[in-house]
Amino acid sequence: MRIGVIGTGRIGTVHANTLSRHREVGSLILTDADPARAQRLAHRLGETAAPGVDEIFRWGVDAVVITTATPAHAELIGRAARSGLPVFCEKPIALDLPGTLQALGEVAAARTVLQMGFQRRFDAGYAGAREAVRAGRLGRLHTVRALTCDQSPPPADWLPLSGGLFRDTLIHDFDILRWVTGHEVRDVYAAGSDAGPAMFREAGDVGTGAALLTLDDGTLATASATRVNGAGYDVRMELAGERDTVVVGLDDRTPLASTEPTGPPPADKPWTGFLERFAPAYEAELCAFVEVLLGRRANPCDGHEALQALRIAEACEVSRRERRAVAMAEIPAAALPGID
Ligand SMILES: NC(=O)c1ccc[n+]([C@@H]2O[C@H](COP(=O)([O-])OP(=O)(O)OC[C@H]3O[C@@H](n4cnc5c(N)ncnc54)[C@H](O)[C@@H]3O)[C@@H](O)[C@H]2O)c1
């Protein structure tokens, strides 16, 4: 099979690498708004570069992987759907709900596949936590604490394209919270701080954000994120129940220093970023996409899942701006046929 990859930046490079090595994938066509970038990667991988998106569709591919900056996702999903092509797209689908619903409507109308890039669903730690919850090993879950801390901030010119900390980063925590617990969020209270570097204020974003989320069974969850965390890249989830507690993301590379005399030593080589921390998960989700294309497995993360995660992020944005609790019922869920 031949796959088109649109967007050859940080994550596009990772996914193109995985697909290029995959024995079921014959070839790739790579493109980017910066054609020289696509060419360089194509040269390195021994694949073909196309001068633009039009060629991806004109030259003919069996599926499309969308790894552009977020504002281009929805239109490209629609275009691929209208061409009857299955799509893997990085999160989020769009920066707003109307764009998300529009793209989902196109996918539903074309009856094609849209797999979303929530790679934590393929991480061994999160899968273990889900299994522990599902098997009842924790007893009744009472508290979940999720966090995502980037070590160093993204480039300043990338921030305005990201949709902000809640839609871009915490969306991962919201998705995985639903996936691990099997519960929906009922309401949220969120706050953000722009007290760090000026680039966040200038982009209308916050550098640190936190949300208190109440799930539909009464479980309380907190999710927090920051863009500047000197100790390293720290992504964790603690789940505490009446019988036991488990933690995802606690290993010999977790960037934590205990102040206890008998505590564990600090990590020798703390995680520095998502590309190394989630490398196996990124590979696994693309291999899953190939399996979906071959009809060997069901879509592990469809557009509806991405819509739910974005709705939670939207609720958090309303909450932090209006400084009030926001019920998920306030956030529109669907306005188009074919979407539940
Ligand atoms: N799942 C994850 O953990 C994860 C991690 C990083 C990024 N992402 C997502 O992946 C996407 C890309 O992020 P990134 O960090 O790779 O950004 P990046 O800036 O490194 O790369 C984006 C690339 O897209 C290209 N591009 C932008 N608009 C385009 C268009 N219309 N047509 C063709 N090319 C276009 C840019 O030239 C750039 O090369 C974002 O949506 C981001 O949210 C997901």
The finding on whether 13 has its CB within 6 A of some atom of ligand 1 is no
CA-proximal residue: ligand 1, atom 9 (nearest): 90
**pLDDT for 333:** 81
**pLDDT for 340:** 46
Please give the distance, rounded to the nearest whole angstrom, from the Cα atom of residue 8 to the centre of ligand 1.
Answer: 7
The finding on whether 158 has its CB within 6 A of some atom of ligand 1 is yes
Domains and CATH numbers, the chain: 2-120+283-301 (3.40.50.720), 123-277+307-330 (3.30.360.10)
The pLDDT of residue 303 is above 90? yes
Q: What is the pTM of this model?
A: 0.96
What gap in Å lies between CA 236 and CA 281, rounded to an integer?
Answer: 15
- Residues near 260 by beta carbon (within 8 Å), at least 6 away in sequence: none
Q: Strand 27-31 relative to strand 326-327: parallel, antiparallel, unpaired? A: unpaired
User: pLDDT-derived band of residue 82, with 50, 70 and 90 as boundaries?
Assistant: very high
The finding on whether 9 has its CB within 6 A of some atom of ligand 1 is yes
The finding on whether 91 has its CB within 6 A of some atom of ligand 1 is yes
User: Tens digit of pLDDT for each residue in 59-72?
Assistant: 999 999 999 999 99
Interval 181-203 mean pLDDT: 95
The finding on whether 39 has its CB within 6 A of some atom of ligand 1 is no
What gap in Å lies between CA 54 and CA 303, rounded to an integer?
Answer: 24
Interval 269-286 mean pLDDT: 97
Triad 165, 167, 169: Cα angle to 5°? 50
CA-proximal residue: ligand 1, atom 20 (nearest): 9
The pLDDT of residue 107 is above 70? yes
Q: Hey, which of 6, 8, 11 would you mutate to test ligand 1's pocket, going by the most ligand atoms within 8 Å of its Cβ?
A: 11
User: Tens digit of pLDDT for each residue in 132-169?
Assistant: 999 999 999 999 999 999 999 989 998 988 899 999 99
**Is it true that the peptide bond before 92 is cis, omega within 30 degrees of 0?**
yes
**pLDDT for 313:** 97
The finding on whether 88 has its CB within 6 A of some atom of ligand 1 is no
User: Tens digit of pLDDT for each residue in 109-121?
Assistant: 999 999 999 999 9
Interval 254-281 mean pLDDT: 96
Q: Please state, in angstroms and as integers, the Cα–Cα distance from residue 56 to each residue in 63, 110, 157, 187, following that order.
A: 10, 19, 27, 42
Triad 33, 48, 73: Cα angle to 5°? 35
The pLDDT of residue 338 is above 80? no
The finding on whether 169 has its CB within 6 A of some atom of ligand 1 is no
Minimum-distance ligand 1 atom for the alpha carbon of 76? 31
The finding on whether 37 has its CB within 6 A of some atom of ligand 1 is yes
**pLDDT for 337:** 46
What gap in Å lies between CA 71 and CA 282, rounded to an integer?
Answer: 21
Mean pLDDT of the residues in the chain: 96
